[in-house]
């Protein structure tokens, strides 16, 4: 196979970019990373992004030229196909399909988490936190004994959830917090992912500072609570 060069177009806070970055790191694939400002999207980016969102993966080689992939799940599936080792999906077709469904479930959990974290009204925060809690409870009842979703090997489901847990690690939500209380498997899962080198390296060193700044600038309830005396 002809060697391709890869460029990941990203934004420093995007959780979907993190998914792709983790997959690339797990597979040991070299990639050039280009960050853009989503508040001032460059014309070249809008020309190649059907959704106007990140991540994008530009795949270039001398034979087919340059192709652009969008949507994190599609990009991760491509990486799994082209770089099969180490495998991030189960070999069994039925189990693999189940994992793909759990990745979608993780995406819904991410949406709930983002809604909760960015809420500026109490009722919105309560609704989103309740929805996220429900999904975490389902994960806790369905996952293996760990340390990862399906056991000892990292999978795409883990990669899909890692950015969610990162938020709460930064904000120091303890396992006893109402969002996580009693969910022992989820607590162990969260800890295992936070310790994974690929998860740690998927964001830049100033990520936590940037994330907290985002919450402050957005006027979120969480930011207001953290600033209260």
Query: pLDDT tens track of the chain, all 229 residues?
Result: 457 899 999 999 999 999 999 999 999 999 999 999 999 999 999 999 999 999 999 999 877 789 999 999 999 999 999 999 999 999 999 999 999 999 999 999 999 999 999 999 999 999 999 999 999 999 999 999 989 999 999 999 999 999 999 999 999 999 999 999 999 999 999 999 999 999 999 999 999 999 999 999 999 999 987 654 4
CATH code, 126? 1.20.1050.10
Query: Are 119 and 183 in the same domain?
Result: yes
Among 48, 82, 116, residue at a domain's last position: 82
**Is 61 among the domain residues?**
yes
Helices marked H in 172-220: 184-195, 197-201, 207-217
**Is 150 among the domain residues?**
yes
pLDDT of residue 227: 58
| Consecutive H or E run containing 32 | strand 32-35
Query: Are 98 and 191 in the same domain?
Result: yes
**Is 151 among the domain residues?**
yes
pLDDT of residue 2: 55
Residue pair 123/174 in contact (Cβ under 8 Å)? The answer is no
51: containing domain: 5-82
Query: Are 28 and 115 in the same domain?
Result: no
**Is 140 among the domain residues?**
yes
Query: Are 120 and 195 in the same domain?
Result: yes
| Consecutive H or E run containing 72 | helix 72-82
Query: Are 34 and 97 in the same domain?
Result: no
Threshold 0.85, pTM exceeds: yes
Q: What angle do CA 104, 207, 123 make, to 5 degrees?
A: 55
Six-digit token string for 120: 């500026």
Cβ neighbours of 106 (radius 10 Å) = 24
Query: Are 26 and 49 in the same domain?
Result: yes
Number of domains within the chain:
2
Query: Are 122 and 189 in the same domain?
Result: yes
Query: Are 44 and 18 in the same domain?
Result: yes
**Is 146 among the domain residues?**
yes
Owner of token pair 């999906």: 89
Burial of 18 from C-beta contacts in 10 A (0-12 / 13-18 / 19+): buried
Residue pair 139/187 in contact (Cβ under 8 Å)? The answer is no
Nearest CA to 140 out of 180, 94, 194 is that of 180
């Amino acid at each position: 196979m002809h060697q391709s060069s890869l460029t990941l177009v990203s934004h420093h806070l995007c959780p979907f970019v993190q998914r792709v970055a983790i997959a690339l790191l797990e597979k040991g694939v070299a990639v050039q990373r280009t960050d853009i400002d989503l508040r001032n999207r460059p014309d070249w980016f809008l020309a190649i992004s059907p959704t106007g969102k990140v991540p994008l993966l530009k795949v270039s080689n001398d034979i087919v030229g340059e192709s652009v992939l969008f949507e994190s799940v599609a990009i991760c599936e491509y990486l799994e196909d082209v770089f099969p080792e180490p495998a991030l999906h189960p070999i069994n077709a039925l189990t693999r399909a189940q994992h793909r469904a759990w990745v979608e479930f993780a995406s819904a959990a991410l949406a709930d988490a983002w809604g909760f974290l960015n809420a500026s009204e109490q009722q919105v925060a309560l609704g989103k936190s309740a929805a996220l809690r429900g999904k975490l409870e389902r994960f806790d009842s369905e996952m293996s004994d760990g340390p990862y979703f399906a056991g000892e090997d990292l999978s795409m489901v883990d990669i899909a959830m890692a950015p969610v847990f990162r938020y709460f690690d930064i904000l120091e939500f303890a396992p006893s917090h109402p969002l996580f209380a009693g969910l022992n498997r989820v607590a162990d899962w969260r800890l295992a992912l936070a310790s994974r080198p690929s998860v740690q390296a998927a964001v830049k060193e100033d990520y936590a500072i940037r994330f907290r700044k985002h919450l402050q600038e957005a006027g979120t309830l969480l930011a207001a609570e953290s600033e209260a005396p």
